[in-house]
């Protein structure tokens, strides 16, 4: 069975005509995915419509801090009709429109309600009617919904999205984690792919006191790869940072024990239960 993340589309692969669901667990995850979505649109010559159910001024200030004072990024009320603004942007000569709606469920109702269905139907019609020149991303905070609500959200959209991989050469894939902050490794970690891990660790360092490295999808790791995991703390200036190794494969745990690195300072093997 595919892992939920593997069944989602990378946000960087979204194209005009897509209407996708961003279901996130942490604001950092939302911001990372939404930032990629917006920048991809701006680079393609698209207008960006950001719909919010909250007050407009705080949303405008947050987007200005993220993207600068760019008049292609417009903040609108989610209570209004996004179709009029989208068609206006297309008439002004933009190549396309990127539409994203923030997490508040208030303007569009809860899954299963008539208002929710009406809102999502309106977005569907807009995406289709604009000749596939509109790309829509609806943001939803998972913490607001139970399992049934989340299923309704995911079934209502054409796809779910995830953050783009930080690195993927077909041998090793490195994906970001947000809650807790860290990395998820899939594939093979050895001498040939170790430089990619080192680069990802350097780029990731944000001063956090803890860093999680999820190894649940690691197929193979040699001794050099294990050394790279143990030396993950060298990429940060944070004193006494703990690196938590999650879902450590048996072969990796064996190498840690035999090498004596199992008790290396700052390295914690998360208990599996």
Each domain of the chain, given as residue ranges in start order, spans: 4-162, 167-269
The answer regarding whether domain 167-269 maps to CATH 3.30.70.2190 reads no
Render pLDDT for 131-158 as a digit per residue (tens, 0 to 9): 779 999 999 888 888 888 888 888 888 7
Residues near 211 by beta carbon (within 8 Å), at least 6 away in sequence: 180, 181, 182, 183, 204, 232, 236, 241, 242, 243, 244
Closest CA to 49 of 123, 101, 12: 101
Can you tell me the mean pLDDT for 245-264? 91
Q: How far apart are CA 227 and CA 232, in angstroms?
A: 9
Whether the link from the prior residue into 199 is cis, omega within 30° of 0, is no
pLDDT of 109 higher than 90: no
Q: Which residue has the tokens 């239960």?
A: 273
Residue 222 has pLDDT above 70, yes or no: yes
Q: What is the pLDDT confidence band of residue 21, given thresholds at 50, 70 and 90?
A: very high
What is the residue-wise DSSP string for the chain? ---GGGGSEEGGG--TT-EEEEEESSHHHHHHHHHHHHHHHHHTTEEEEEEESS-HHHHHHHHHHHH-S-TTEEEEETTS-HHHHHHHHHHTT-SEEEEEE-S--TTT--TTSHHHHHHHHHHHHHHHHTTT-EEEEEEEEGGG--HHHHHHHHHHSSEEEEPPPSEE-SSEEEEEEETTEEEEEEEEESTTTHHHHHHHHHHH--S-SEEEEEEEEEEEE-HHHHHHHHGGGGG---TTPEEEEES--HHHHHHHHHHTGGG-TTEEEPP--
Q: What is the pLDDT of residues 179-195, one digit of tens each?
A: 889 999 999 999 999 99
Whole-structure pTM value: 0.84
- Average pLDDT (15-24) is 93
CATH classification for the domain delimited by 4-162, as one of 3.40.50.620, 3.40.50.300, 2.40.50.140, 3.30.9.10: 3.40.50.300
Give the least confident one: 2-6, 51-55, 158-162. Answer: 2-6
């Amino acid at each position: 069975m595919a892992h939920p993340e593997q069944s989602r589309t990378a946000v960087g692969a979204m194209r005009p005509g897509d209407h996708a669901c961003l279901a996130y667990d942490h604001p950092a995850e939302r911001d990372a995915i939404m930032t990629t979505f917006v920048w991809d649109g701006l680079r393609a010559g698209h207008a960006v419509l950001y719909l919010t159910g909250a007050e407009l001024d705080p949303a405008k200030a947050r987007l200005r801090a993220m993207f600068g004072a760019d008049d292609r990024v417009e903040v609108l009320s989610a209570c209004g009709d996004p179709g009029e603004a989208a068609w206006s942007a297309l008439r002004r000569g933009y190549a396309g429109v990127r539409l994203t709606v923030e997490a508040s469920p208030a303007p569009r109702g809860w899954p299963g309600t008539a208002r929710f269905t009406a809102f999502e139907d309106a977005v569907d019609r807009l995406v289709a009617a604009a000749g596939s020149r509109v790309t829509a991303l609806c943001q939803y905070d998972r913490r607001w919904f139970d399992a049934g609500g989340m299923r309704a959200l995911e079934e209502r959209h054409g796809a779910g999205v995830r953050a783009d991989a930080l690195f993927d050469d077909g041998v090793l894939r490195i994906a970001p984690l947000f809650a807790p902050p860290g990395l998820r490794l899939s594939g093979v970690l050895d001498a040939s792919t170790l430089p990619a891990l080192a680069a990802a660790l350097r780029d990731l360092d944000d001063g956090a006191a803890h860093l999680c490295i999820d190894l649940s999808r690691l197929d193979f790791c040699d001794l050099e790869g294990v050394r790279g995991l143990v030396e993950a703390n060298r990429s940060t200036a944070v004193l006494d940072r703990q690196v938590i190794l999650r879902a450590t494969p048996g072969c990796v745990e064996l190498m840690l024990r035999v090498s004596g690195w199992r008790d290396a300072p700052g390295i914690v093997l998360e208990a599996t239960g």
